[in-house]
Amino acid sequence: MEWVYIKDLKNYVERDVELRGWVRRKRSSGKISFIEMRDGSGFVQVVIEKSTVGDDNFAQADKLRLESSLIVRGKVRKDERAPNGVEILANEVIPVQIPSEDFPIQKPDHSIEYLMDHRHLWLRAKRQFHVLRIRDAVMKAIRKFYWERDFVQVDTPIFTGAIGESAGNLFEIDYFDYGKVYLAQTGQLYLEAACMALGKVFNLGPTFRAEKSKTRRHLIEFWMNEAEVAYYEHEDNIRLQEDLVYYIVQYVLNNAYDDLIAIGRDVSKLGKVQKPFPRMTYTEAVEFLQKHGSDIKWGNDLGADEETTLSKQFDSPLFVTHYPRHVKAFYMQPDPSNPEVVLCDDLLASEGYGEIIGASQRIHDYDLMIERLEENNLPIDKYDWYLDLRQFGSVPHSGFGLGVERTIAWIAGLEHIREAIPFARTLYRIHP
RNA sequence: UCCGGCGUAGCUCAAUCGGUAGAGCGGGUGGCUGUUAACCACUAGGCUGGGGGUUCGAGUCCCUCCGCCGGAGCCA
């Protein structure tokens, strides 16, 4: 008998099939029972009649508990009473393994602490099934976008020396007898090197921030997509980000629509995302906020509340550009028309989800880079190879980093970023 | 690091002014051929996070430790 996946059952109506999966839910009467079965591809109801399977097999099937694994052989039937149009009338139910204890997650009525303690089992819940499929769609969209545009994927290292934007939030690792290495908080500097070799490059991988952040937008370990393009300047950079984010939204709408619906996402809001995205300079943003009652002063960085206020004005993500250079990283290119601000942008997701991209044109002038490193008290000798890039055929170049989980949380409408990754690493939680 | 909140049955939560520890779900047993968070009957289940204190008496008040949750800063 042919083993088929639940998602393909509609092509097997009136045929005998074998399903391999797990018991999601069970309801039983004396002579008939119903098993809601899942197999990783979908969900279907199995009807077990005592008169069809026989007394012995019915008794055996009755012993199945939640999350027992089982193999079912039976006939695919169209049935209006079934939620997805088809159900299985069992001929034979073969238990694979029956747990000796209750499955810890029974009803959608658990605290977040309890669910996170049981994350390895929580993944089997319907909502998590759909969220992880949306994550998969976002990942595919990102790679597809770049490959369609002739970018080369360059995988940047996880172990790095103490080099990056700042040294204070790095995870330290013992590296044999040679001292310390650090977990990457960005691959940007390496992508800057790679773009001088390959032109248009991107990465997609985990990054680590030793920041004691406890908010719905923060993870200790999160995935970042970074891109870097030689000869791209500020405006090219913004257009690339706009195209990417728009592409991801469209791809998810086209390829994971059912998953969005299943978790109750208001897809009309995603439908309103349109190019070009709205833009505001930092200075305009400060003026706007001041008019609306904020006491923010020019020169202060935007806080979480300010970002939310700004992004809620628009249906599409908002670019905030030209920040004061003192609130941004050392490597950002000054604006030629006003050296007090830099050629950078943050992309703030709509609906109050906050920053999903940080971007800038990078300084390509050797002397200016030295000046900025000194200004920030960074160890110039550690940046030797980074400075080499300004020594040998330096060109203007730009890039950005996209927070993958924040993007997923926004697109899926999640309340907390920890659901956007299979096993979230947050402050005080590394188990399971 | 700072601010706030929570910790009671396997799970989610009640418990009035400090006065005998309760419910729903889940589990067990029995019943039911169309259930969708099935239903009906019966049933078992507790060191109230740990330690200390106040009191005739503490789930409740105080101190302390632990765990978790949310927010700020910082960032993606």
What pLDDT does A430 receive?
Answer: 80
Compare A40 and A175 and report the one with higher pLDDT: A40
Given a cut of 70, is residue A31 above it in pLDDT?
Answer: yes
Question: In Å, what is the CA distance from A320 to each residue of A133, A311, A330, A347?
Answer: 31, 10, 18, 6
What pLDDT does A160 receive?
Answer: 87
Q: Is residue A210 one of the residues assigned to a domain?
A: yes
Give the DSSP letter string of A219-279: -SEEEEEEEEEET--HHHHHHHHHHHHHHHHHHHHHHSHHHHHHTT--HHHHHT--SSPPE
Given a cut of 80, is residue A83 above it in pLDDT?
Answer: no
CA of A375 to C1' of B26 (A): 62
Query: Which nucleotide has its C1' atom closest to residue A29's CA?
Result: B32
Residue whose structure tokens are 């032109």: A199
CA of A382 to C1' of B74 (A): 24
A105 neighbors A383 (Cβ within 8 angstroms):
no
Nucleotides of B under 7 A from a protein CB: 1-2, 10-13, 24-28, 31-38, 67-76
Write out the H or E segment, with its range, that includes residue A285.
helix A282-291
Rounded to an integer, what distance in angstroms lies between the CA atom of residue A370 and that of residue A380?
A: 8
Query: Which nucleotide has its C1' atom closest to residue A347's CA?
Result: B76
Closest protein CA to C1' of nucleotide B69, residue = A113
Query: Which nucleotide has its C1' atom closest to residue A66's CA?
Result: B26
Are residue A263 and residue A143 in the same domain, yes or no?
A: yes
Rounded to an integer, what distance in angstroms lies between the CA atom of residue A188 and that of residue A399?
A: 8
Determine the structural domain holding residue A328 and report its residue range: 119-420
Closest protein CA to C1' of nucleotide B7, residue = A113
A76 neighbors A13 (Cβ within 8 angstroms):
yes
Three-class DSSP category at A145? helix
Provide the CATH number for the domain around residue A264: 3.30.930.10
Name the domain boundary from A67, A97, A127.
A97
Q: Is residue A407 one of the residues assigned to a domain?
A: yes
- Band the pLDDT of A52: cuts 50, 70, 90: very high
Closest protein CA to C1' of nucleotide B74, residue = A211
What is the CB neighbour count within 10 angstroms for residue A20? 17
Name the domain boundary from A97, A129, A158.
A97
Structure tokens at A301: 């960085």
Tens digits of residue pLDDT in A290-345: 988 888 889 888 988 889 889 888 999 999 999 999 899 999 999 999 999 999 99
Are residue A158 and residue A36 in the same domain, yes or no?
A: no
CA of A21 to C1' of B8 (A): 38
Give the total number of structural domains in chain A. Answer: 2
Portion of chain A with pLDDT greater than 70, in percent: 98
What pLDDT does A168 receive?
Answer: 61
Q: Is residue A253 one of the residues assigned to a domain?
A: yes
CA of A16 to C1' of B2 (A): 64
Return the DSSP state at A84.
Answer: T
Q: Is residue A249 one of the residues assigned to a domain?
A: yes
Q: Is residue A432 one of the residues assigned to a domain?
A: no
What pLDDT does A14 receive?
Answer: 94
Are residue A245 and residue A293 in the same domain, yes or no?
A: yes
What pLDDT does A62 receive?
Answer: 87
What pLDDT does A161 receive?
Answer: 78
| Amino acid identity for residue A28 in this structure | S
Tens digits of residue pLDDT in A116-137: 888 999 999 999 999 999 999 9
Closest protein CA to C1' of nucleotide B70, residue = A215
CA of A116 to C1' of B15 (A): 29
Question: In Å, what is the CA distance from A305 to each residue of A57, A173, A322, A406?
Answer: 61, 35, 20, 17
Q: Is residue A265 one of the residues assigned to a domain?
A: yes
Are residue A137 and residue A179 in the same domain, yes or no?
A: yes
- Band the pLDDT of A174: cuts 50, 70, 90: confident
Closest protein CA to C1' of nucleotide B27, residue = A102
Given a cut of 90, is residue A191 above it in pLDDT?
Answer: yes
Query: Which nucleotide has its C1' atom closest to residue A211's CA?
Result: B74
Structure tokens at A141: 């969209």
Query: Which nucleotide has its C1' atom closest to residue A221's CA?
Result: B76
Are residue A142 and residue A75 in the same domain, yes or no?
A: no
Rounded to an integer, what distance in angstroms lies between the CA atom of residue A414 and that of residue A130?
A: 12
Query: Which nucleotide has its C1' atom closest to residue A65's CA?
Result: B27
Structure tokens at A192: 């800057």
Rounded to an integer, what distance in angstroms lies between the CA atom of residue A107 and that of residue A109?
A: 5
What pLDDT does A261 receive?
Answer: 93
Rounded to an integer, what distance in angstroms lies between the CA atom of residue A223 and that of residue A135?
A: 11
Are residue A84 and residue A200 in the same domain, yes or no?
A: no
What pLDDT does A163 receive?
Answer: 64
Are residue A17 and residue A166 in the same domain, yes or no?
A: no
What pLDDT does A426 receive?
Answer: 84
Query: Which nucleotide has its C1' atom closest to residue A83's CA?
Result: B36
Are residue A318 and residue A376 in the same domain, yes or no?
A: yes
CA of A62 to C1' of B48 (A): 37
Q: Is residue A62 one of the residues assigned to a domain?
A: yes
Rounded to an integer, what distance in angstroms lies between the CA atom of residue A414 and that of residue A353?
A: 9
Query: Which nucleotide has its C1' atom closest to residue A168's CA?
Result: B74
CA of A102 to C1' of B16 (A): 37
**Which segment of A196-210, A262-276, A347-361 scores lowest on mean pLDDT?**
A347-361
CA of A418 to C1' of B7 (A): 22
Given a cut of 90, is residue A409 above it in pLDDT?
Answer: yes
Average pLDDT in chain A = 91
Are residue A358 and residue A405 in the same domain, yes or no?
A: yes
What is the CB neighbour count within 10 angstroms for residue A170? 22
- Band the pLDDT of A162: cuts 50, 70, 90: low
What is the CB neighbour count within 10 angstroms for residue A326? 11
Q: Is residue A105 one of the residues assigned to a domain?
A: no
What pLDDT does A319 receive?
Answer: 96
Name the domain boundary from A97, A132, A152.
A97
Query: Which nucleotide has its C1' atom closest to residue A354's CA?
Result: B76
- Band the pLDDT of A212: cuts 50, 70, 90: confident
A169 neighbors A185 (Cβ within 8 angstroms):
yes
Tens digits of residue pLDDT in A366-402: 999 999 999 888 888 888 999 999 999 999 999 999 9
Among residues A279, A292, A408, A288, which one has the least CA distance to residue A353?
A408
Preceding peptide of A432 cis, ω within 30°:
yes
Compare A62 and A411 and report the one with higher pLDDT: A411
CA of A211 to C1' of B73 (A): 10
- Band the pLDDT of A167: cuts 50, 70, 90: low
What pLDDT does A187 receive?
Answer: 93
Among residues A274, A283, A240, which one has the least CA distance to residue A401?
A240
CA of A290 to C1' of B53 (A): 52
What pLDDT does A111 receive?
Answer: 83
What pLDDT does A164 receive?
Answer: 56
Given a cut of 90, is residue A77 above it in pLDDT?
Answer: yes
Are residue A11 and residue A57 in the same domain, yes or no?
A: yes
Query: Which nucleotide has its C1' atom closest to residue A30's CA?
Result: B32
Rounded to an integer, what distance in angstroms lies between the CA atom of residue A210 and that of residue A169?
A: 4
Compare A164 and A406 and report the one with higher pLDDT: A406
Provide the CATH number for the domain around residue A76: 2.40.50.140
Structure tokens at A143: 């790679």
Tens digits of residue pLDDT in A236-250: 999 999 999 999 999
What pLDDT does A347 receive?
Answer: 95
CA of A70 to C1' of B5 (A): 43
A20 neighbors A2 (Cβ within 8 angstroms):
no
Are residue A322 and residue A278 in the same domain, yes or no?
A: yes
- Band the pLDDT of A71: cuts 50, 70, 90: very high
Rounded to an integer, what distance in angstroms lies between the CA atom of residue A50 and that of residue A88?
A: 14
Closest protein CA to C1' of nucleotide B25, residue = A107
CA of A217 to C1' of B26 (A): 33
- Band the pLDDT of A82: cuts 50, 70, 90: confident
Are residue A297 and residue A149 in the same domain, yes or no?
A: yes
CA of A102 to C1' of B59 (A): 28
